[in-house]
Structure 1
Amino acid sequence: MSTIEVSTTSEIGRTALPRRILELMQERGDAFTIRGFSQRLGISREYLRIMLAGDRPISPAMTERIAQGLGITVERLKQTDTQHLVQELTTVLGASKRTKPMLLRARDMAEKLVKTALGATERALHLNNLGRVQFFQQEYDEAHGTWLQGLEYAKLLYEQYEEKDLLHLITANLMLTYTIRKEFSHVEEILRLVEQAMPENSIALGLASSTRMNMCLELKKYRQAKEHAISSLEHYRRTNDDSRIAKAMINIAHCDYLLGDYENSAISLSSAIEHAKNYDYTLVFAVKEYVKVLIKQKNYEKAAQSIEKYESIAKDYPDIHGRLLILYTRIKNDPSFSIRISDDSTRSLQVRYFACKCLFDFYSKKGDAETALMYYERARIYSNAKSEFFEEEGF
């Protein structure tokens, strides 16, 4: 069984000009208090205060004076100098498919934006996007470190302006990398921050509960993990978001599976399938997990029917489709389905590895040692081990 992650796709717009000026003043230190900066601009302290409070429009001429006083261009102050880069990066990050050249270009753009960023909001936003690019490049340690940097600015925004959007985005992304990396040092501090800052945000609280679930799973505390998974579901129910509800049900089923409670695991997965009917990836993921539970229950007929019912949808997701065909070999006692996967060069190495492992087990039980050994050797070729033999643990 596997858990499935909940992601966040919210985007943050540019900061209003008065707030932008305040952030830049703060970055420049004590010399840029309202009193000090008003003297530098040659205007009254009250006039500057009213403009920064948003109670009086800032004219183009005054905008230019303020930019000069801050030592930057008007374009940098208003962030128009990076607008084209931001738009191009946003397009890549929002694409349904991202090629390697696209991500390399996105990485270059994101790094440039981080270098030019000024003020807590712009810095937090661009660090968040750089982390997203690194995440899509599967550089999870780098993404985690980038988001930790961004978190410092997001916390500053929350403390000074009660700004929660970037705090939500960055903490949500950090919870994802904590889980993927299976390294949870200092995560409790972040979870407490989320619960304190966003007690009304059911999505954030659901993510916090699912992160605690994953921490417990890593420690093999399966009953505690289930309690957090149930808590996550309760939070997501308040959102009326069927996709999140389905994913939470999958996680509860995962905990029940590990506890050996296949009956309740099957019930949760059956409900997840209903909630996920408009979300194809989550749907076929839930079906795959459901079939695995049905096999544990020796309900082979229902398992086969489930695969047959959803196979056409699963074809759009080759890895899951491959896994379903491998399970079909197990159900039908017919190696041809796994052979198709093991021989298909378009499939991922991991799926072909699982197919070979399945075929090794199949032919071993049939007493066909020669064929079993062939698939054992193929499985070794397709395995994830990329290190030299002398780098393997225990050598």
Structure 2
Amino acid sequence: MKTFEPDTQSFVIPPQLGQRIMEIMEEKGKAFTQQALANRIGMNRVTLSKKLHGERDLYLFELRRIADALHLPIERLLLEDTKEDQVELEGLLEKLENLPRALELATKISSIAVGITERTKSLNDLGRAYYILEKYDEAFETWLLAFEYAQKIANKNNDTSMLFNIIANLMLTYSIRKEYSHLSEIISTVEPHFASDPFRAGVICYSLAKIAENQNNYEAARRHYHRSLDYYISTQHQLSIARATHNTAAFEFRQGNYQVSKKLFEDALPYLNDHMSKLVSLKELVKTLLMMQETELASTHINTAFELINGVVSSGTHYAVFEAKFHLLKSMVSNNPHFAMKVLDMKVDDRTKSFAARYLLDFYEDNDDSAQAIKYYRIVRNLSNNVLPILGEEDF
């Protein structure tokens, strides 16, 4: 059952140089109090404090003195030495290109980071690089360290933006790894910070729902899915509401609550404003209708899907896998193997073809055609060892 998963979250370091200097001073310990730094650079402590808090201008010659006193190159203090690498890294992560290079850059930047804000940002980016490369254990450990820093920032500066992004990323690894150490600690930290922010609370509740479902705690999962939906409804942001509605419908489908699932998918569809999202939701709705044996309505939605696919193809984009799956669904609705046979000749992956072959195997077994059944059994064995019911497959 296809759902709409959140992306990994990124953020930028706010341009607060005074705060950065104070963070570096704190890291260096008691020898770098404001009074000690003021003495080192020949400045009155009150004047230094005003400059660090943005109440008076900091001049370049003063920054050079501060950098020298902190035993840092001024380029490091101003983040100039990593600026080009950071721009390249963000471009690679955004476009999912040259990921080994992205990991190299993220590792380099995090290794020289100073100050709690830069450390948090660089570790978050390193975790993103690991995650996109499917190194989920490394991503988890990196984001867990970033979480500790972000928690300190939230408690000290009342700035929860970094904390939220890292929590959202951590939840992705919890869902994938299905290993839940530190979870109760993280949840207890998160909830007070985000209860008044419906967008962020919606993401957190969705992540908690996925985790509860993975732990077979279905009542807790249902509660979190519907809480997530309620939070998004309060935002009045139609696309977010539609995606949360779809995800809740997918859960109810997995629980066998097809009537509830049907209504939720129907509620979501009008507000999914891109072809891909509409096709995802249409496919799940058709599967639900098949389970309810509402074949006439299912057929109507399949025709709508083909109209969307044809529109996309004519604009130069080919959604072959969607086309194949809707051909297979059409065979299921019409009890006609012809459409499923088309899938085996399409340029799609073996996994998609295996769904069609499994349907054809079942069809000919049910119709006592042993020769055809054996033919498609062999195709199934060549393509996949899985013979579970197709509609229950998570990736169909």
TM-score (norm 1): 0.88
User: Per-residue deviation at 1:312?
Assistant: 4.6
Matches within 5 A, 1:217-366: 217-276=213-272, 278-314=273-309, 316-344=318-346, 346-366=347-367
What is the count of residue pairs matched by the alignment? 379
Q: Aligned partners of 1:177, 1:280: CA distance in 2, in Å?
A: 28
- Call closer, same or farther: CA 1:123–1:322 in 2, change over 3 Å: farther
**1:351 counterpart letter in structure 2:** T
The residue that corresponds to 1:391 in the other structure is none
User: Per-residue deviation at 1:318?
Assistant: 4.1
Contact 1:243-1:282 within 8 A present in 2 as well: no
Task: Show CA shifts across 1:282-312 (max 9, x none).
Answer: 2221111100110011111211221221235
Segment drifting more, 328-337 vs 142-151: 328-337
Q: Aligned partners of 2:128, 2:350: CA distance in 1, in Å?
A: 25
Q: Aligned partners of 1:201, 1:273: CA distance in 2, in Å?
A: 25
Contact 1:322-1:351 within 8 A present in 2 as well: yes
Segment drifting more, 14-23 vs 227-236: 14-23
The runs of 5 or more residues in structure 2 that have no matched partner are: 313-317, 387-396
**2:367 counterpart letter in structure 1:** K
- Call closer, same or farther: CA 1:133–1:302 in 2, change over 3 Å: same
1:198 aligns with 2:194: yes
- Call closer, same or farther: CA 1:215–1:59 in 2, change over 3 Å: same
Contact 2:286-2:298 within 8 A present in 1 as well: yes
The residue that corresponds to 1:389 in the other structure is none
Q: Aligned partners of 2:294, 2:165: CA distance in 1, in Å?
A: 42
User: Per-residue deviation at 1:61?
Assistant: 0.2
Which SS does the other structure have where 1:56 is aligned?
coil
Task: Show CA shifts across 1:87-141 (max 9, x none).
Answer: 122222223xx34xx2222222222211122111111112112222222222222
Q: Which has the higher contact order (CA 8 A, sep 6+)?
A: 2
Contact 2:9-2:169 within 8 A present in 1 as well: no
**2:380 counterpart letter in structure 1:** A
Q: Aligned partners of 2:193, 2:265: CA distance in 1, in Å?
A: 33
TM-score (norm 2): 0.88
Contact 2:13-2:118 within 8 A present in 1 as well: no
User: Per-residue deviation at 1:64?
Assistant: 0.7
Matches within 5 A, 1:1-395: 1-7=1-7, 9=9, 11-95=11-95, 98-99=96-97, 102-276=98-272, 278-314=273-309, 316-344=318-346, 346-383=347-384
Contact 2:344-2:353 within 8 A present in 1 as well: yes
User: Per-residue deviation at 1:60?
Assistant: 0.3
**1:334 counterpart letter in structure 2:** N
**1:93 counterpart letter in structure 2:** L
User: Per-residue deviation at 1:374?
Assistant: 4.0
**2:306 counterpart letter in structure 1:** E
The runs of 5 or more residues in structure 1 that have no matched partner are: 386-395
Contact 2:361-2:374 within 8 A present in 1 as well: yes
- Call closer, same or farther: CA 1:248–1:335 in 2, change over 3 Å: same
Which SS does the other structure have where 2:286 is aligned?
helix
- Call closer, same or farther: CA 1:73–1:321 in 2, change over 3 Å: farther
Identical aligned pairs, as a percentage? 32
